[in-house]
Amino acid sequence: MTARRGPGSGPRRCPRCDAPIVWRLNTASGKPFRLDQSPDDSGDVIVHRNHPPAGELLRATRLAGHELVAAKADGELLFTRHSKTCSALKEPNPKPEGVQIEWPNGRGPVRRSPFPR
């Protein structure tokens, strides 16, 4: 079984999908959240390092709008929130966008009646 650790810890594994993640404190709320371990060009989270007397502390900020565009233009390392990529939270076999399912007789999926005929 994988150990679950909170913020400030190094690389860990997601308890749902077992992917490598890191915990960071959200600068806005102070609450911990999971990030994918590797930087991602399509990410929207930037990690800040600060050095309080007790040692290095890593915090993360979600970016949007002009801040996100500026961070990408500056070549900042961006990360993705793990909740967006966790395979355990996704539908197992989603229908591709734009595909329509045609059922026999145009009535939708066949359901059996609980009452015999």
Euclidean distance between CA atoms 32 and 36, whole angstroms = 13
Cα 95 from Cα 41, distance rounded (Å)? 26
Query: Where in the sequence is the domain holding 48, given as residue range(s)?
Result: 12-86
pLDDT one-digit tens code per residue, 6-37: 555 556 899 999 999 999 988 888 888 899 99
Q: Answer yes or no: is 91 within a domain.
A: no
- The pTM assigned to this predicted structure is 0.65
Number of domains composing the chain: 1
96: left (phi over 0), alpha (psi -120 to 50) or beta: beta
Asked if the structure places residue 73 within a domain, the reply is yes
| Residue range 29-66, pLDDT digits in tens | 888 889 999 999 999 999 987 766 666 678 899 999 99
